[in-house]
């Protein structure tokens, strides 16, 4: 059994309630931080821990926190990004619905570190039942004195609100989320200024993923160094992985970063192997946006090293032969799956979710979807593969927010590693129609 932090008590009966959560050591980090530490000391521990953003980008959290502007007389905000909408990712839903107090505890401790007296949890609208769970838990936390005025008699005030999203993937992009939270159309803002300087209502704001904020709890409890001792290299701590697709045991697993991919797929502790005794074909390792890798490249790097579940190892080889840890949405495809059909599904998603603000993404995502539709439905031509390649290349890096990249990478990687599958699909239909 590997080290568990976030999901240590997820199977305790009644862990959703305040009493049971408290019995298992809940809210100790708030007590420790508020009573024995300064906000700066908490930030220092987070820096020491090497914690990196768990939403997908993997940016060092301590550094993000230290960028927060602190002008006199201006409120600061902590916003939790719970707009989990990346296809293949469902870890935050599990954490929030199983142990809602874990997030709330992390929010209070983090807010103390940032000097934020108000925080928001922006939850994906489709997670309506999770919103109910969170609201109940917040009520319990208020009743127990962990929220409100003068918490633990330390003079620290904090209020927390849950805001349901309107059902847009784009609102998981931090500035679009802030726009939406302000009651506006969820379009990403043009950066700079970054939220750390001008965020919610023009005030300095930190936006963190659910899992990132939750990870602050063990960091404060056990110290940043203890957290940094878990994991491998710059990939410290544990990570929640949402495993789905053609495996025997889909679900949410907490892994110690650095676990070999092969073990993760085949071990009975995790995925339990590819289902029905079939062969592994491909894996999308970090949610739909990251490049898809064929079986040999996901098990071993191009240099022949075993591939590990860590930010560095998965990215080894760049996009030529590597991918990204992303949000931890681990999608497994067996030998019967069609990478091209799967890509079409992803392309439909990005077309549907593009906000339409900037031209390459607005027009390009729809265009790529139409070309893929054409190929999948038997009308593809060889030139369409080159067209797709060219379109993704012209979207990538030329958009306001990363949605354009997210739409381009799956297309690029599918063509890079599975070009023959496109050709076969086009050829077989060409024969049929001859």
Partner 1 sequence: MLKVTIDGQTIEVPEGTTILQAARMLGPEVAPPAMCYYSTLETSGGYCRTCIVKVTKGSEKDPRPMPKPVASCRTMVMDGMEVQNKTSPELLEARKGVVEFLLANHPLDCPVCDQAGECHLQDLSFEHGAESTRYEFERRTFEKIDIGPNVQLHMTRCILCYRCVKVADQLTPGRSHGVLNRGDASEISTYIEKSIDNEFSGNVIDVCPVGALTDKTFRFKNRVWFTKPMDAHRECDKCSGKVALWFKGADVLRVTGRKDAFGEVEEFICNTCRFEKKDAADWKIEGPRVIDHKSVISSNHYLANNQVPDFAFREVADYKAIEDKPVQPVPAQNQLNN
List residues binding partner 1 (CB under 8 A): 168, 170, 185, 190, 351-360, 362-367, 370, 387, 390-391, 393-395, 397-400
Exposure string of 118-142, with b = 16+ CB inside 10 Å and e = fewer, is: bbbbbbbbebeebbebbbebbebbe
**8 A C-beta contact, residue 303 and residue 424:** no
Q: How many CB atoms lie within 10 A of CB 353?
A: 20
Shortest separation between residue 329's beta carbon and partner 1, angstroms: 22
For partner 1, which is the closer residue by CB, 275 or 367?
367
Shortest separation between residue 417's beta carbon and partner 1, angstroms: 24
Alpha-carbon span 371 to 210, nearest angstrom: 36
Task: Give the C-alpha distances (Å, rounded to integers) separating 198 from 90, 167, 398.
Answer: 30, 25, 23
For partner 1, which is the closer residue by CB, 74 or 190?
190
For partner 1, which is the closer residue by CB, 139 or 394?
394
Which residue is associated with the tokens 């797709």? 388
Shortest separation between residue 263's beta carbon and partner 1, angstroms: 34
Shortest separation between residue 349's beta carbon and partner 1, angstroms: 11
φ and ψ at residue 80, rounded to 5 degrees: -95, 125
Alpha-carbon span 285 to 88, nearest angstrom: 9
DSSP E strand stretches across 238-322: 238-245, 251-256, 259-260, 280-284, 292-294, 308-309
Shortest separation between residue 412's beta carbon and partner 1, angstroms: 14
Comparing CA positions, the residue from 363, 384, 366 lying closest to residue 375 is: 384
User: For residue 339, how far is the Cα from the chain centroid?
Assistant: 23
For partner 1, which is the closer residue by CB, 56 or 245?
56
For partner 1, which is the closer residue by CB, 186 or 218?
186
For partner 1, which is the closer residue by CB, 123 or 170?
170
Shortest separation between residue 339's beta carbon and partner 1, angstroms: 23
Q: Where are the alpha helices (DSSP H) in 127-246?
A: 128-143, 174-181, 210-222, 224-229
Alpha-carbon span 106 to 209, nearest angstrom: 11
Kindly state the DSSP code that residue 277 receives in the 8-state scheme. G
For partner 1, which is the closer residue by CB, 224 or 402?
402
Taking the alpha carbons of 409, 414, 415, 416 in that order, is the dihedral positive or negative?
positive
- Under DSSP, is residue 46 helix (H, G, I), strand (E, B) or coil? helix
Shortest separation between residue 201's beta carbon and partner 1, angstroms: 16
For partner 1, which is the closer residue by CB, 338 or 398?
398
Shortest separation between residue 8's beta carbon and partner 1, angstroms: 39
């Amino acid at each position: 059994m590997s080290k568990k932090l976030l999901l240590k008590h997820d199977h305790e009966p009644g862990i959703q309630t305040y009493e049971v959560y408290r019995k298992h050591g809940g809210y100790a980090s708030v007590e420790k931080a508020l009573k024995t530490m300064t906000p700066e000391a908490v930030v220092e521990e987070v820096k020491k821990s090497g914690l990196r953003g768990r939403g997908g980008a993997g940016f060092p959290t301590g550094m993000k926190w230290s960028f927060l502007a602190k002008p006199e007389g201006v409120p600061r905000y902590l916003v939790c990004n719970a707009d989990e909408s990346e296809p293949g990712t469902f870890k935050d839903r599990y954490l929030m619905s199983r142990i809602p107090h874990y997030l709330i505890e992390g929010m209070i401790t983090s807010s103390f570190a940032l000097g934020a007296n108000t925080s928001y949890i922006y939850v994906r609208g489709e997670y309506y039942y999770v919103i109910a769970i969170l609201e109940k838990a917040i009520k319990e936390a208020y009743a127990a004195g962990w929220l409100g005025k003068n918490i633990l008699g330390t003079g620290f005030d904090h209020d927390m609100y849950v805001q349901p999203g309107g059902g847009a993937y784009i609102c998981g992009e931090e500035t679009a989320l802030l726009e939406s939270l302000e009651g506006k159309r969820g379009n990403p803002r043009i950066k700079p200024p970054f939220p750390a300087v001008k965020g919610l209502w023009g005030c300095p704001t930190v936006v963190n993923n659910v899992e990132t904020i939750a990870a602050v709890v063990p960091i404060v409890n056990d110290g940043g160094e203890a957290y940094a001792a878990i994991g491998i290299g710059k990939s410290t701590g544990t990570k929640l992985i949402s495993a789905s697709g053609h495996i025997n045991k889909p679900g949410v697993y907490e892994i110690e970063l650095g676990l070999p991919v092969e073990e993760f797929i085949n071990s009975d502790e995790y995925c339990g192997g590819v289902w029905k005794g079939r062969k592994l074909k491909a894996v999308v390792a970090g949610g739909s946006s990251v490049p898809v890798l064929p079986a040999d490249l996901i098990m071993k790097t191009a240099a022949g090293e075993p591939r590990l579940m860590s930010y560095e190892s998965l990215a080894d080889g760049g996009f030529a032969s590597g991918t990204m840890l992303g949000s931890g949405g681990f999608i497994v495809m067996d030998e019967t799956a069609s990478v091209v059909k799967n890509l079409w599904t992803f392309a439909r998603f990005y077309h549907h979710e593009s906000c339409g603000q900037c031209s390459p993404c607005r027009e390009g995502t729809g265009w790529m979807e139409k070309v893929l539709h054409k190929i999948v439905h038997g009308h593809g031509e060889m030139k369409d593969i080159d067209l797709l390649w060219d379109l993704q290349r012209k979207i990538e890096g030329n958009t306001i927010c990363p949605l354009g990249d997210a739409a381009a990478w799956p297309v690029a990687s599918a063509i890079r590693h599975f070009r023959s599958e496109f050709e076969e699909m086009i050829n077989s239909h060409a024969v049929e129609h001859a």
